[in-house]
Chain A
Amino acid sequence: EADIYQTPRYLVIGTGKKITLECSQTMGHDKMYWYQQDPGMELHLIHYSYGVNSTEKGDLSSESTVSRIRTEHFPLTLESARPSHTSQYLCASSAGARDEQFFGPGTRLTVL
């Protein structure tokens, strides 16, 4: 069982609210990722990090932002949520760029 945690698991909020999705891993992995997964199942990389103080944008443009102040923590923030942000957000980590990615259980976000 991978030691990567996401909170909350489910979140329903109104438009315009600021939200932060939490992701923590206890494996000491340098690389961390955020994916967006729509009901159609496809995974889209929206952010990743090589390590502390490193953040990069992924293949899918996203209005969210991320930070990496500590190795184990990689939170994702939406400053003003909109219905178009409704989706599942998956966090993952790996020891290196081509090592196994361990995924968290996901946060299912609904913006009304």
Chain B
Amino acid sequence: QQQVKQSPQSLIVQKGGISIINCAYENTAFDYFPWYQQFPGKGPALLIAIRPDVSEKKEGRFTISFNKSAKQFSLHIMDSQPGDSATYFCAASNWANNLFFGTGTRLTVIP
């Protein structure tokens, strides 16, 4: 059973556009929601993370929006750049669990 559902599977965005990736979860005990970025040939690296006591967290061009009642969270990449082309994974956990990863979104930013 997929603990974290992620969509879309792939995304193509023009340079300067907004990239949006969505995730949903069922386990209300989850209280930590990170996003990881993976470039080809590399391991994933933490991009940004949020805890459910806030509805939004912004770091530069990257923003996480969190909707606790809907059990959904999303990653917004503003002014997307070709260098943002990578695979993005959402994840969720609580104190008792390891991270559960989404299935990944392959983002391509076209110059």
Show the binding face of A for B, using Cβ within 8 Å: 2, 4, 33, 40-43, 45, 48, 58-59, 90, 92, 97-98, 100-106
Separation of A95 and B81 alpha carbons in the complex (Å): 32
Contact B44 A41 (CB under 8 A): no
Query: In the complex, what residues of A have CB within 8 A of residue B89's CB?
Result: 41, 43
Separation of A97 and B103 alpha carbons in the complex (Å): 21
Query: Which of A40, A97, A103 is within 8 Å of B44, CB to CB?
Result: A103
Which 10 pairs between the two chains have the least Cβ-Cβ distance?
A: A103-B43, A41-B104, A43-B101, A100-B46, A42-B103, A103-B44, A98-B32, A104-B43, A90-B43, A105-B43
* Number of A-B contacts defined by CB within 8 Å: 53
Separation of A101 and B44 alpha carbons in the complex (Å): 9
* B window 75-109: CB within 8 A of A: 87, 89, 93-101, 103-104, 106
Contact A41 B43 (CB under 8 A): no
